[in-house]
Amino acid sequence: MWPWNVLCAALACLAGSMFVCVWLWWSGQRAVRRMEKLLESSVKKAEEEGLVWREEAASCRQRIERLEEELKALRQAQTPRPGMNLTKRTMALRMNRRGERPEQIAAALGLPRAEVELLLKLHRAAAGAPPVGVG
């Protein structure tokens, strides 16, 4: 049989080994909990930042859409209308000779009234007649 002192020494080593194993397991669990908390806070922070970026992207997208609409409206506004062609000019002068008013001529030919009035003034000036107020 084993002497008591050898048996006690073996039990002490076994108890010490068990203590070290339990301590290592407990330390590992504590490290795991610490890492889980760190991971949770990192994930939460990343989600918050992601939300901020999504909101910013949505805001930028809305701004781009609004600017595209404004640009489209500006392009349409800048599209020059076709000017008065020779046929419309001739028709406007004939209608004026028949005694029609500039408002009637403009409505009939689909032209702005100011353009018709200018045409009539220029025609009178070119014909040598003194400028007369249109209206």
Does pLDDT of 94 surpass 80?
Answer: yes
Question: What's the structural domain count of the chain?
Answer: 1
User: Would residue 114 count as lying in a domain?
Assistant: yes
Q: Residue 94 belongs to what domain range?
A: 86-126
The stretch 15-38 carries a mean pLDDT of: 97
User: Would residue 79 count as lying in a domain?
Assistant: no
User: Would residue 52 count as lying in a domain?
Assistant: no
The stretch 18-33 carries a mean pLDDT of: 97
The lowest-confidence range among 68-72, 85-89, 91-95, 112-116 is 85-89
| Predicted pLDDT of residue 130 | 59
| H-type alpha helices, 79-112 | 86-97, 102-109
| Predicted pLDDT of residue 131 | 54
Greater confidence (128 vs 93) lies with 93
User: Would residue 110 count as lying in a domain?
Assistant: yes
| Contact status, residue 105 vs residue 116, Cβ threshold 8 Å | yes
Hey, how many other C-beta atoms are within 10 angstroms of the C-beta on 107?
13
Residue of 76, 116, 66 lying closest to 96 (CA atoms): 116
The stretch 103-122 carries a mean pLDDT of: 92
| Predicted pLDDT of residue 85 | 82
User: Would residue 98 count as lying in a domain?
Assistant: yes
User: Would residue 45 count as lying in a domain?
Assistant: no
Residue range 38-89, pLDDT digits in tens: 999 999 999 999 999 999 999 999 999 999 999 998 888 766 666 678 888 9
Grouping H, G, I as helix, E, B as strand and the rest as coil, residue 87 is helix
Mean pLDDT, rounded, of the chain: 89
Kind and range of the H or E run holding 122:
helix 113-127
User: Would residue 118 count as lying in a domain?
Assistant: yes
